Structure 1
Amino acid sequence: MTYSFDTPCRVEQQVRAIADYQIGAALGELDRDEEDREDIVHDVRLRCKKLRGLIRLVRPAFAGYKAENAAFRHIAHLFEDMRDAKVMQDTYDALIAAFEDQVDRSAFASVRREMTSRRKAVLARADWDALRGKAREALVEARDRARGWSLEAEGWDAIEDGLAKTHKRAVKAMDRAVRDPTGPNHHEWRKRAKYHWYHTRLLKHAFPQALKPRAATIKDLCDMLGDHHDMHVFIETLEGEPGAFGEAETIALLRAMAERRSEELENEARALGDRLFAEGTGALTARIGAYWSAWETQAQPADAA
């Protein structure tokens, strides 16, 4: 099943079906060849994020939200160290690629070696079988619970408040990041925008011509903000242990490059965010609600038949 509602009817049933598919896919990832463990980590964590996005959409109508959100967050957290080590190396590679024509890559070889060494060390000390076993057990338990989930509302009534709350939080987080452009504030904006991205994807069939392009643009924004967060953590890592990565001059240059790239990402994200979130929460919720209502009207003859 795709990550979207296929009909405006039977929302509760579809929430269960989407959750069942995502949990089953995560369990399938855990059965892949151990040599692909970093890809497995990425994909399992992604499934958990999509599940958290799903239940957040129906949160006001879902009494089990708090417990289920904590459960999926815990599963993703099991693999956090492995994820972070890979991201730091990938961030270094992306930074060097961004300045490929301006710097000599070999000058930063000591940094690349240290990042690679740390990544390998994390992989070596991780008890992969134990982590995978814990994740599998938790996912199986979650799947059993998800098959019995119930909502206290149906149709648009089950969705409207969750959509509005998430969008409103994304707008507030953007405003905060613009006023005080710190790394944590941009990271919070990214988290809130990402939930809105998941919700737009879930609702896309209400009016695909409008919502699919919006979802794609929100993803672009989230990618920018994700890269910004990774650069922020990268800078913090260099500052925390400068002697571990090479000569002071080398680290100072690399930090300046990362700060410049972060500033570029901030400007790009703000320009895109200003357009994406120009519409107020009330107006956006009413607009998507109207799409849903029209979709519901269209679906009724088919259901009656």
Structure 2
Amino acid sequence: MSLQLKRSEDFSTGVLRVIDEEISRAYNLLHDVPPLDRHETIHELRKTFKELRAIFRLIRDEMGEEAFKKENIFFRDLGRQISEIRDHTAVMETTEQLREQYTQGFDSELFAPAITYQLQERQKLEDAYVNNDVPGYLRSQLGNKLQEHRSWTVSVNAFEQIAPSLKRVYKRGQHSLRVAMASQATEDLHEWRKRVKYLRYQIDTLSRIWPGLMGSLEDELHDLSDLLGFDHDLSIVQKQINDNMVVFENPVDKSLVITIIEHHRSQLQRHALIKGQNCYYEKPTAFIDRIHAYWSNYEKKMSDNELVKKENLKY
């Protein structure tokens, strides 16, 4: 489900509704999940928790630091209950994409040890997930949070109330880009990816208020986070191979897979850094001024619509 605010809603009402819908959706996803749908459900849950944390960052100053930290930690900890399972699935899917890409040039079984390792490790985690009734725990926690959230009030009447939070997220992403460009280290690229995702989810929320006005930024950030995600997944496989967790019978196959991964990662990183510079080309103040202009345009449209309604009522 996309995050969508209705055109007739003010920002505060819309944001509270979106939070309610996302928590409700996560809660309902955990109801009688068939084993075949388990990993797709886990993926959707983890994404929803990240989206909620991004929204809370957007209204951070309105919430207050104590309330923000409480919600951020709550959904962070829920995400950690399923993060390892999701990581193995993501790494497996990325490795399978790599295998398909190189099918014609190499043996189709070249990547089999890496994929098999993900499946075996994921199964161990999945067994614990079921045996410890993690779905039941998550559903209970979300049910309580849903009731708690419905008593909340948020009052965002001016752009200045969300501007500092949005600027912080943009500025930190821009800083992380510079660090990643300088070092190209795996940990720095991963840190940048997290910042990109927060901004992406915040822009996604805002773009649902003003369809079309945000331009292609949300799509650009989506593509950027995917590039960085693929690179991170391959870095995990690379480390697993180097640490001999993934075992190859033929040393030549091992060297070949590492070479392919290193080549593919260099391409992903090059594209990500180019796209990143396009997404973060503005100074933070200029970026906020641009988003403020969208906000003002929306408010004017809402005001004009109200005037039209009043005029129509006269006749």
Taking structure 2 as the reference length, the TM-score comes to 0.89
CA displacement at 1:151 relative to structure 2: 3.7
Count of residues in Structure 1 that have an aligned counterpart in Structure 2: 305
Aligned equivalent of 2:227: 224
Q: Greater shift after overlay, 104-113 or 190-199?
A: 104-113
CA distance in 1, matches of 2:24, 2:248: 41
Q: Greater shift after overlay, 105-114 or 266-275?
A: 105-114
Q: Does 1:233 align with 2:232?
A: no
Aligned equivalent of 1:170: 173
Q: Greater shift after overlay, 4-13 or 122-131?
A: 4-13
- Runs of 4+ more than 6 Å apart: none
Aligned equivalent of 1:45: 46
Contact 1:201 1:212 (8 Å CA) reproduced? no
Aligned equivalent of 1:23: 23
Q: Greater shift after overlay, 266-275 or 9-18?
A: 9-18
Aligned equivalent of 1:275: 278
Unaligned 5+ residue runs, structure 1? none
Contact 1:242 1:251 (8 Å CA) reproduced? no
Given the alignment, which residue of 188, 191, 196 partners 1:188?
A: 191
Could you tell me which amino acid in structure 1 is paired with residue 25 of structure 2?
A
CA RMSD after TM alignment = 2.1
The aligned runs of 1:257-268 (5 Å cut-off) are 257-268=260-271
Aligned equivalent of 2:140: 137
Q: Does 1:95 align with 2:98?
A: yes
Could you tell me which amino acid in structure 2 is paired with residue 50 of structure 1?
E
CA displacement at 1:274 relative to structure 2: 1.3
Given the alignment, which residue of 230, 247, 254 partners 1:251?
A: 254
Alpha carbons of 1:300 and 1:176: their partners in 2 closer, same or farther (altered >3 Å)? same
Aligned equivalent of 2:313: none
CA displacement at 1:73 relative to structure 2: 0.8
Aligned equivalent of 1:75: 78
CA distance in 1, matches of 2:271, 2:20: 37
Q: Does 1:160 align with 2:163?
A: yes
Given the alignment, which residue of 182, 194, 199 partners 1:179?
A: 182
Contact 1:178 1:270 (8 Å CA) reproduced? yes
CA distance in 2, matches of 1:206, 1:118: 42
The aligned runs of 1:209-220 (5 Å cut-off) are 209-220=212-223
CA displacement at 1:149 relative to structure 2: 2.6
Could you tell me which amino acid in structure 1 is paired with residue 187 of structure 2?
P
CA displacement at 1:16 relative to structure 2: 1.4
Aligned equivalent of 2:296: 293
CA distance in 2, matches of 1:8, 1:56: 24
CA displacement at 1:209 relative to structure 2: 2.7
Alpha carbons of 1:298 and 1:152: their partners in 2 closer, same or farther (altered >3 Å)? closer
Contact 2:129 2:135 (8 Å CA) reproduced? no
Could you tell me which amino acid in structure 1 is paired with residue 51 of structure 2?
K
CA displacement at 1:245 relative to structure 2: 4.1
Contact 2:3 2:208 (8 Å CA) reproduced? no
SS in 1 for 2:109: helix
Q: Does 1:56 align with 2:57?
A: yes
Q: Greater shift after overlay, 20-29 or 272-281?
A: 272-281
Alpha carbons of 1:295 and 1:121: their partners in 2 closer, same or farther (altered >3 Å)? same
CA displacement at 1:18 relative to structure 2: 0.7
Could you tell me which amino acid in structure 2 is paired with residue 53 of structure 1?
A
